[in-house]
Structure 1
Amino acid sequence: MVRSFVFYLVPQFSLLPFTSAIEALRIANRMLGYEAYRWRIASDSGLKICSSSGIAIEPDTSLADERRALMGEKRPDLVLVCSGIDVEDYYNKSFEAWLRELNNRGCGIGAMCTGTHLLARAGLLKGRRCAIHWENMPGFTETWPEIDAHADLFVIDRNIYTSAGGTASLDMILHLIGREFGEGLVNAICEQALTDRVRLSSERQRLPLSARLGVQNGKVLQIIELMEANLAEPLSLIEIADAVGLSRRQIERLYRQEMGRSPARYYLEIRLDRARRLLAQSTMPIVDVAVACGFVSASHFSKCYREIYQCSPQQERAQRRQARMSVRESAIGVAV
């Protein structure tokens, strides 16, 4: 029995998860010696569509074609929505209706990278666990606080398949292949793809703190973890000191040595970094972004933001909106 996949491409989709998944299926067919997997590529219009890297892909079908295919022999076993940057700009009522039709007919539905946003918007993630890229987690959880989102590599919950993007899509597809054909085939694919193993779905997305920041001091790492876990309601330095068993003076000295700045300054920087992601990933009012990142007022937030990024939150959002419009116009030019 041939298993059929549809890869639905959203403008500015990420190439890496898309191509990794298809290559895994292609190599599986080659190792098996017959066509166990078949796939086609779809987009809204069926016309050429541009990835975030500027490389354009020619789809096989349009959304209208895929909606008709639901009624016949070409109905897919699994549809994977592939998106990337600026996913919040993509809104298509027909697309969301198609996703719900797929769900009602028992088809598998998946998302790669930021595609999880689109499944959430279509109402498919209520009562489900899902995965999304760590960079998009702040905006996602603020927009859909009721959805059980995780920073796992991938999550499979009944007929919903979500991967965080990047090479995590390879892990998810290899997991599906392993379920059908066993570990032997998966190992053969890994050897062909020059990867040494399939990562577990629950493995971390990001590098460990020590590798990411170049810090080895266990106390400093413990403090940073506390800070990152308490952005909306920042802890005082006294609370942090009590939690890690150090004095305020010891923490100040450690931070100067290891981070080159005070703990208060570092705490402010990571709160503002979260704010910058929320400004880019959501339409939350500025005051709500400020509150979500632990600022007592929008004016204090704007003052701190300008000090770090040399522009106000309003200017940041306007600049990003303009940049997205420019990219979209370029993508339209490629499609034409």
Structure 2
Amino acid sequence: MPSDKPRRFTFLLLDRFTMLPFTAAIEPLRLANRAAGKPLYEWRLVGPRGDMATCSNGSRVLVDGGLDGDAVAGRDEVVIVCGGTEIAREATRPVLSWLRRQARGGGSMGAVCTGAWILAEAGLLEGRKSTIHWENHDGFAEAFPEVDLYRSVFVHDGNRLTAAGGTSSIDLMLHLIAESHGDALAADVADQMLHTAIRTDQDSQRLSIPMRIGVRHPRLAAVIARMEANLEDPISPAQLAQDAGMSTRQLERLFRRYLNRSPKRYYMETRLARARNLLMQTEMSIIEVALASGFSSPSHFSKCYRAQYGSTPYRERGTATASGAASSSSLT
């Protein structure tokens, strides 16, 4: 039965948080209050600084308070971590301690975009189902193997809530609204937002392979799906062709015709993209990144990486570290 007392949400805005997932989370609450004609939800904003938070697009958002001496959320309250770029740098001791303290109150702990990384760092997702933005999926999986990671738009596992980013926050909030106040109210809110296709926790984050590559060819899509599922242990083009029921030459022609590159080249680019994400998002060593991306030799990995991105893995990581340090100093 819904309570007459408004349900309270606390949004923790970390520096460099992405604006879209945050606004997509808070607007459904406002519209639910409007549609119901009474306050079903209330919210507040907090941040590590205590006065404002800067999002990834440079905008600044005033917050209601900081983390020192903050009250612990009750059992019917929800804490949402709003993450964004360079998320690992936001896992500071004050932030992690605050989140653990809030979790002890028994309320729901949630995250949008990359905020799940911070929940995991605080130990609040161990043994739980979770999701994170697809671009951070590989790095998260390597850093937190104890978390049951999904590629769905959102995950609701007991009192743990995670949304992958972008407009997935809308779907998570509509799910919570429907759960507490019925499908009709959730549908009314969706209509107000012109959100015509409400997604569930079974929907995938990314477009289907045919949509992504702009080609509707079942065999090609099947081969690419196998490539993406086997980046650490690459499958030979001959084996891919055989499993797809065609010759190696037919496979070559298929890739050349639709993607203007060989299967080997496409596979290499996909593996290197994963390597780049791991370099930027984790503390894995260069050799560990190489192995996780299907390269047995660090020198071969470095050569291929440089040919693709114009920089070595070592320089790429150094540049990212320097950029993060500069961003941090500019915000102090």
TM-score by length of 2: 0.95
Letter matched to residue 27 of structure 2: E
Tell me if the contact between 1:152 and 1:204 (Cα under 8 Å) persists in the aligned partners.
yes
Residue in 2 aligned with 1:214?
214
2:177 corresponds to which residue? 177
Structure 1 residue runs of 5 or longer lacking an equivalent are: none
* Distance (whole Å) between structure 1 residues aligned to residue 69 and residue 12 of structure 2: 12
**Where does residue 99 of structure 1 map in the other structure?**
99
1:67-97 Cα shifts (integer Å, max 9, x gaps): xx128xx887010000111001112223222
Paired position in structure 1 for 2:256: 256
Q: Is the 8 A contact 2:286 2:313 kept in 1?
A: yes
Q: Between 142-151 and 88-97, report the one with greater CA deviation.
A: 88-97
- Name the aligned partner's letter for residue 88 of structure 1: A
Among candidates 36, 49, 52, match of residue 48 of structure 1: 52
Letter in 2 for 1:100: R
Query: After superposition, where does 1:54-133 map in structure 2 within 5 Å?
Result: 54-66=58-70, 69-70=71-72, 77-133=77-133
**C-alpha distance in structure 2 between counterparts of 1:311 and 1:46, whole Å:** 39
Does the 8 A contact of 1:5 with 1:79 survive in 2?
A: yes
- Secondary structure of the residue that 1:81 maps to in structure 2? strand
Distance 2:60 2:75 in 1: 26
Matched, 1:38 2:42: yes
Taking the aligned partners of 1:91 and 1:188, their CA distance within structure 2 comes to 37
Using the alignment, how far apart are the partners of 1:33 and 1:65 within structure 2?
Answer: 34
Q: How many Å separate the matches in 2 of 1:238 and 1:82?
A: 45
Q: Is the 8 A contact 1:6 1:76 kept in 2?
A: no
Residue 32 of structure 2 corresponds to which residue in structure 1?
28
Percent identical among aligned pairs is 42
Deviations 1:183-239 (A, max 9, x none): 111121112111114211111111111111112222111111111110000001221
1:305 aligns with 2:305: yes
Partners of 1:64 and 1:197 lie apart in 2 by 41
Q: Specify the SS of the correspondent of 1:105.
A: coil
Q: Distance in 2 between matches of 1:101 and 1:244?
A: 52
| Distance apart, 1:139 and its partner CA | 0.3
CA distance in 2, matches of 1:176, 1:65: 29
Cα pair 1:24 1:173 within 8 Å, conserved:
yes
SS at structure 2 position matched to 1:6: strand
**Secondary structure of the corresponding residue to residue 241 of structure 1:** helix
C-alpha distance in 2 between matches for 1:96 and 1:89:
12
In structure 1, C-alpha distance between the alignment counterparts of 2:112 and 2:14, rounded to whole Å: 11
After the TM superposition, which residues 171-210 of structure 1 pair with which residues of structure 2 at under 5 Å, given as runs? Answer: 171-210=171-210
Is the Cα–Cα contact under 8 Å of residues 44 and 63 in structure 1 kept in the other structure? yes
The more displaced of 158-167 and 320-329 is 320-329
* One-letter amino acid of the structure 2 residue matched with residue 12 of structure 1: R
**Deviations 1:233-282 (Å, cap 9, x if unpaired)?**
00012211221111111111111111111111111110001001111111
User: Matches of 2:235 and 2:278 in 1, distance apart?
Assistant: 21
Moved over 4 A (4+): none
User: TM-score w.r.t. structure 1 length?
Assistant: 0.94
Instruction: Supply the AA of the counterpart residue of 1:110.
Output: G
The question of whether the paired residues in 2 share the 8 Å contact of 1:5 and 1:76 is answered with: no
User: Cα offset for 1:327?
Assistant: 2.9
SS of equivalent residue, structure 1 residue 5: strand
SS in 2 for 1:53: coil
Give yes or no for the alignment of 1:143 onto 2:147.
no
Would you say 1:241 and 2:241 are equivalent positions?
A: yes
Secondary structure of the residue that 1:216 maps to in structure 2?
coil
Work out the CA distance in 2 between the residues paired with 1:84 and 1:305.
26
Check whether the contact 1:241–1:247 (CA below 8 A) recurs between aligned residues: yes
Q: Distance in 2 between matches of 1:45 and 1:51?
A: 13
Q: Which has the bigger relative contact order, CA under 8 A and spacing at least 6?
A: 1
Answer yes or no: is the 8 Å Cα contact 2:18–2:55 preserved in 1. yes
Q: What amino acid is the match of 1:256?
A: R
